[in-house]
Amino acid sequence: MKYPKTQFAKAFHEGDRVSSPFLIKYSAVMTGKTGKPYMNVVLTDKTGDVEARIFDNVPKYHSQAVKDTYVQVEGNAQTFNGRIQILIKDLTVLREDEVAAEEYVPVTTLNPEKLYAELKEKILSMKDPYYKALMEAIFIEDEEIAAKVKKAPAAKSMHHAYPVGLLEHVVSIFNILEFLAKHYEPYINRDLLLLGGLMHDLGKIWELQYEKTTDYTTEGRLIGHLVMGVELIEKKVRELESKPGRLPGPFPTDHRLLSKHMVLAHHGKLEYGSPKEPACIEALIVHMIDDLDSKVNAIRVFTELDNATGSWTLLNRQFERFFYKPEWARKTPNGQ
């Protein structure tokens, strides 16, 4: 028997009684001011997340309210600091076959096959035989990479944090890069610029795990997507060089270094995790367009999911400001 999904994370109002299954995205035991333990929980489903608290029977629920577990939640919705929070009264762990898994992954209207076809088309339009061969080896000839790119989100929470988000981000970026390559012709190397757009975040397919909820992998925490991207470039260049006749000549040193630099410099500043600051125009452009595309997406999604009624959103903690809501994002007091 499947537990029917009757209520959704983004549709609660103050005073609602809660009785519905959810997937646990995060849980932690905290200590209150009186020294009594309580639990901080984030419940999720296809509409998004809602915060929850457990104040009673913490030792009992501690072992049940575990990340990536489906649970039937009984409780009430209340407002705390202007945000909806579920006060959990009871919780039952559900088996995987008791829920319809598609109700718990964010819905995406993105078409990964169509986006991937656009990505391939761009690669096939590259002129430089070395950059082109490297991109073909990674995105066209490596099936494991293609399969992961068609699924991965671009982040855990900051931007494009939903299935296929990484591919959406990459395709969006390289359409802008294509325009800029023409705009700044002949001072820009178009193929290097596109390579930067394609490669900059590719390490995220291994930095994150995204089977149910999204989180960092051990490799992601210890190495990170910049270094993972560079390692992949080195590995693929060596493989290409070992195949007789695959390249017109030895992979040029400057191509090898510049490809890696595009990945290493894309966070722009040392304090944002870049081991190198952009040292060529192409790397600077990729950094700035990456920053632009991720911010535009983050604000769009935040505005779309925001529950506040009226013309202003609740406080956005990432940007530390309120955003003015356009007509399409406004909600009436009854949540329609």
Summarize as ranges the residues that interact with Fe ion (CB under 5 A): 201, 290
Minimal distance, residue 239 CB to Fe ion, in Å: 24
Q: List CB contacts of 248: < 8 A, sequence separation 6 or more.
A: 129, 130
> Considering beta carbons, is residue 260 or 325 the nearer one to Fe ion?
260
Q: What contacts 24+ positions apart, CB below 8 Å, involve 126-132?
A: 126/190, 126/191, 126/194, 126/195, 127/190, 127/191, 128/189, 128/191, 128/192, 128/255, 129/247, 129/248, 130/247, 130/248, 130/251, 130/252, 130/255, 131/191, 131/192, 131/194, 131/195, 131/255, 131/259, 132/191
Minimal distance, residue 133 CB to Fe ion, in Å: 24
> Considering beta carbons, is residue 103 or 201 the nearer one to Fe ion?
201
Which residue carries 């849980």 as its tokens? Answer: 27
Minimal distance, residue 201 CB to Fe ion, in Å: 4
Minimal distance, residue 267 CB to Fe ion, in Å: 6
Minimal distance, residue 120 CB to Fe ion, in Å: 20
Which residue carries 């809660």 as its tokens? Answer: 18
Per DSSP (E only), the strands in 103-244 are 208-209, 215-216
> Considering beta carbons, is residue 201 or 282 the nearer one to Fe ion?
201
Maximum CA extent, the chain: 72
User: Residue 85: phi, psi to the nearest 5?
Assistant: -140, 140
Q: What contacts 24+ positions apart, CB below 8 Å, involve 301-309?
A: 301/159, 301/161, 303/329, 304/329, 305/10, 305/47, 305/48, 307/10, 307/84, 307/331, 307/335, 309/333
d(CA 332, CA 13): 12
* CB-based contact 325:336 (threshold 8 Å): no
> Considering beta carbons, is residue 71 or 285 the nearer one to Fe ion?
285
> Considering beta carbons, is residue 50 or 154 the nearer one to Fe ion?
154
> Considering beta carbons, is residue 191 or 290 the nearer one to Fe ion?
290
> Considering beta carbons, is residue 45 or 201 the nearer one to Fe ion?
201
Minimal distance, residue 11 CB to Fe ion, in Å: 31
Minimal distance, residue 269 CB to Fe ion, in Å: 12
Minimal distance, residue 42 CB to Fe ion, in Å: 24
> Considering beta carbons, is residue 45 or 293 the nearer one to Fe ion?
293
Residue 261 burial (10 A CB sphere; 0-12, 13-18, 19+): buried
Cα 205 to the center of its chain, rounded Å: 10
